[in-house]
Structure 1
């Protein structure tokens, strides 16, 4: 008997109504987007301006406000491909090792003699001792700073490679440690870049690793690649270094373990600084823009307990001595320590406006990149080009939709009309699910939607052709419809499962745009099967119950 239980009807109608409700915000994209932005800004700042209130009230708060995010090629934005200079981390590791090793060797001065650092290539730490015949002891002390590699590929190896010749000992990272450091550096860079981009409040950025030492960054909605490059490319390495002297000669050669840094406030002045910082930006827990005692823009920062203790101990022991606040190898300020600073808070002020102070606070909050990033590729996609892509996608989808509707109605008459309604509901459910999961729609995603429109009626075609065959056996129309759905089920399931498998492979093995195509294709398959097997069937049953035809034509 051709019938559908009442609870099933309620469930099907309920799913369709929910889909319509959650897809509706996409029909008012600009208004809902402004509403979401206003709500987020009010929650973040606690300030309600008339403009923000008007934008917030532009969409009912009780209505869903999830939107399908637009990708870079649809919204416009910036594209960068950066290469992380991992070799800089090797140098930093050796610079950080030198003070500790120097103290350990100095404790046995009577044995190894005087110790000094010799100039060497980046990533190498070369040390000269006074008693060459005690090099074995010096090497033993240095090996105490080496640790075993715990990864499977580096099992049995040490973190440091140490060699000695005459009175000189050379230390560098071992190959296994370099591989481990490279991976850790890229992962840390990915996280810091993601935090910096998130601080700006952009929507659905794509930040992913490419190859061994490259990072792909795509940020929709940002003004230009130069703006994104300025935000991400700055290392924002904040350090507090002891001042050893100053000079006006930029050609001055600092000693081993020291470096020359220009002053921002006094052009032409250069400071000679100790290479090992007292505190670094890694000890920062917060940084906010503010004003100094003269009302000039500044950045207020706060250390964690570890940084506060180290900074307090240094300032207590060096009252009357200058120290430098260094940002990206430039001295922002070099004040003299008047008293011990034990509160763990400080302030950076100088030649900056309020926008620069806000930008600097964002960089400091996000953390310092472990190494600089060299940009190999940069591209800006204008919003006009993105709008052209959207318009082209709409035209393609509309043409496909109209063509499928015409074909179905001409081929199957009233049943084709039922399939058309189901196809429209399929699109509604597709956008509803994309909105719920916060998916990002790109041009390949639009291609997946257009392909879904063409594939969505496949199940209906199988059912209708099967009903035709059943009608030829002189069965009644009710029985023919029922058998049509039952006997077409296996073919429908087989066809869609194979497509789902292909979509899963594309998602697992593909990158950005391919993943977007796979997501829309997968969701489209699920919604098309639901609408074909349940929505179309429910419409058919409701019509049949009202009309009670003695004969039907498919």
Structure 2
């Protein structure tokens, strides 16, 4: 009776948490709906807006100069949106994201201009409509270029004798003379000198006495050191000798972002329903427990995104949907173990305990290796890829928790309530051992043929099929400017129109390098050309609006310099190499056998090559999400392999003969075959819906991922075990020869 009450309370508590998180996600709290999904920060690809990256010209600025520049850009960006983000990058770069803006050209023109800082005497200042934010003046005392230093510091107040925060200024020789004359005129009447930054008054200290030595102190209004430092920083900005050039920019229409959200959410909902149905039908009561745990995972994930103030991007949404499929994996491993224990004649209670215990090492090792891929993605990726990596990592950790704890609590609670008949759990049927090792030659030939096909396709592409490149490099990897134009529904897109568009772009860009393609699923064109300046992009936009009577919001573009695209290519290669090395070291450490690690890494590189073949044959654009796709496949593939290797390690014991090892490999793969198939299916359900219903950018991510999932399942089942045994025999034979010598 006591156990029944405990079990009932546990189920009620979990359902209550789901209900609370669900309410928080859908409605939120207070009139501002805190915690609700509508308050999750959206990236530019979902909210629309402007993103621009600047790079310092010449020598790399100091950290202080970069911080000052960031502060300047933050102030400018916040004029357009309080949700603006300004981030300092490597190599003297600053990236600014401004969501939801309407006039993108105005924003880009404003952000790139040099900051202005003026000191204005009270007698020379007036305000339009008496508005303090609209200063008007005919002349200045001096400008920011006349300031030598501006620092926040402390001094003792002469009246109160207490410490106070102040801003200490030092002027250059020209500024010293001008400031002395101005303060001499202002001091008798204690008039103020206005400090105006970018047309806005930021301070107006009263002059107490003439300042002739070029050293002034602003005091009396700073409650904290940070407030004094903020003013000092803005004064320094006016004198900042940093020239910025645009290296990357993007304008995204808000409506396109909304369409992307809706299609992705629909794909996720259908995929989720298929996964739940599959789990309940195949695993019965444990499947029901896993489905409840999946709902728990999803609502907690959404609340977590809000609580951690994470910016959600379109690849991030795809990451959450992918995680739902992958989250089932841990449950599948556990349930397979439970059914095996029941087949051995163990009780239901004992089987549940043993199932979780025996599955633990495989779950931890598999998820840690996937986390390694997510970590490398975050370090080497940028923008939307970081968003994908963040949601992937959070999802992995959360899915482990839900599988190992929430599902376990639910199963034990249901058992305590009397749902303890073996029929509710199912028994693993005895399966005839499949001879994977004996068929290794066939598997190796198939894999070898795929690798050769990849190399051949890359050479064919290089010969001219992809403009002299081995792959169809997108803007991220090739540099240039791409316009995505959505026309009105009554506008017919035909060959004549495309010729007209090509002519306009060739004329404005001064280059015949113009590639036009239709945007699937919409009445639009994507036009890629050489890198265009802000002035040329503005001229093109106005020409398109005038000629085709379309709204400016239906024109979005992305601009990336060649230097940035070269870095992205390098990052893609480095990311895969780093991930492979880290996984090699981890598996070597965990399995204490480099043969396990080596064969696992060779198999995942095999999967990466097959996915590369898909990109080469289909000519899917290779861009920033290419890195995310590759590393996701790497993580997924290694996860599946570790489950099989974990079973080989368990069955291995002290066996050393070739016959015994062959039997161990065949038996281990056969025992884990159900898990391999079912995990691939549940992940496939989620990704296939993205491929069918997602927008173009998601489809370009999902289609290679689908192939990677299939290939990852194939390589883990058919390649890794036989490959491990082949290498093991070679190593053992080599040692034997050395010993005989």
Q: CA deviation at 1:224?
A: 3.7
Distance 1:375 1:272 in 2: 31
Q: What does residue 53 of structure 2 align with?
A: 81
Contact 2:40–2:311 (CA<8 Å) still a contact in 1? Answer: yes
What's the secondary structure of 1:394's corresponding residue? helix
Distance 1:438 1:511 in 2: 18
Contact 1:239–1:278 (CA<8 Å) still a contact in 2? Answer: no
Q: CA deviation at 1:225?
A: 2.9
Contact 2:146–2:171 (CA<8 Å) still a contact in 1? Answer: no
Is 1:225 equivalent to 2:96 in the alignment? no
Contact 2:4–2:413 (CA<8 Å) still a contact in 1? Answer: no
Q: Which runs of 5+ in 2 are unaligned?
A: 122-135, 154-165, 205-229, 427-741
* 1:54-453 alignment, distance < 5 Å: 57=31, 59=33, 67-86=39-58, 178=59, 181=61, 185-197=65-77, 202-203=82-83, 205-209=85-89, 212-239=91-118, 279=147, 282=150, 304-306=167-169, 314=177, 318=181, 338-340=185-187, 345-347=192-194, 357=200, 366-367=234-235, 368=237, 370=240, 371-453=242-324
- Change over 3 Å in CA distance of 1:356–1:455 after alignment to 2: same
What's the secondary structure of 1:475's corresponding residue? coil
* 1:33-44 alignment, distance < 5 Å: none
Distance 1:189 1:405 in 2: 51
Distance 1:73 1:422 in 2: 30
> Normalising to structure 1: TM-score of the pair?
0.55
User: 1:384-409: CA deviations, max 9, x gaps?
Assistant: 11111211220221122122112212
Q: CA deviation at 1:203?
A: 2.1
Report which of the two has the higher share of helix.
2
Q: What does residue 105 of structure 1 align with?
A: none
State which structure, 1 or 2, has the greater radius of gyration over its C-alpha atoms: 1
User: 1:23-63: CA deviations, max 9, x gaps?
Assistant: 644324xxx6xx9xxxxxxxxxxxxxxxxxxxx7464x8x8
Q: CA deviation at 1:455?
A: 0.7
What's the secondary structure of 1:234's corresponding residue? coil
Q: Which one is further off, 477-486 or 525-534?
A: 477-486
Contact 1:470–1:483 (CA<8 Å) still a contact in 2? Answer: yes
User: 1:479-504: CA deviations, max 9, x gaps?
Assistant: 22222222222222221121122222
Q: CA deviation at 1:383?
A: 1.4
Contact 2:68–2:233 (CA<8 Å) still a contact in 1? Answer: no
Is 1:476 equivalent to 2:322 in the alignment? no
Distance 2:189 2:172 in 1: 7
Q: What does residue 26 of structure 1 align with?
A: 25
Alignment length (residue pairs):
370
- Change over 3 Å in CA distance of 1:501–1:344 after alignment to 2: farther
Q: CA deviation at 1:538?
A: 1.9
Contact 1:316–1:341 (CA<8 Å) still a contact in 2? Answer: no
Q: Which has the higher contact order (CA 8 A, sep 6+)?
A: 1
Contact 2:47–2:258 (CA<8 Å) still a contact in 1? Answer: yes
- Change over 3 Å in CA distance of 1:196–1:14 after alignment to 2: farther
Distance 2:316 2:289 in 1: 27
- Change over 3 Å in CA distance of 1:316–1:540 after alignment to 2: closer
What's the secondary structure of 2:346's corresponding residue? coil
Q: Which one is further off, 497-506 or 376-385?
A: 376-385
Distance 1:437 1:11 in 2: 27
Q: What does residue 374 of structure 2 align with?
A: 503
Report which of the two has the higher share of strand.
1
Q: CA deviation at 1:440?
A: 0.9
Distance 2:407 2:142 in 1: 77
CA RMSD of aligned residues (A): 4.7
Q: Which runs of 5+ in 1 are unaligned?
A: 36-55, 87-177, 243-263, 286-302, 324-336
Distance 1:309 1:372 in 2: 21
Q: CA deviation at 1:549?
A: 3.6
Contact 1:239–1:281 (CA<8 Å) still a contact in 2? Answer: no
Distance 2:193 2:120 in 1: 15
Is 1:535 equivalent to 2:389 in the alignment? no
What's the secondary structure of 1:203's corresponding residue? coil
What's the secondary structure of 2:83's corresponding residue? coil
Contact 2:316–2:388 (CA<8 Å) still a contact in 1? Answer: yes
Q: CA deviation at 1:195?
A: 4.7
Contact 1:204–1:220 (CA<8 Å) still a contact in 2? Answer: yes
What's the secondary structure of 1:511's corresponding residue? coil
Distance 2:191 2:170 in 1: 7
- Change over 3 Å in CA distance of 1:455–1:279 after alignment to 2: closer
- Change over 3 Å in CA distance of 1:341–1:230 after alignment to 2: farther
Distance 2:279 2:318 in 1: 21
Q: CA deviation at 1:524?
A: 0.8
Distance 1:374 1:455 in 2: 42
What's the secondary structure of 2:169's corresponding residue? helix
Q: Which one is further off, 420-429 or 10-19?
A: 10-19
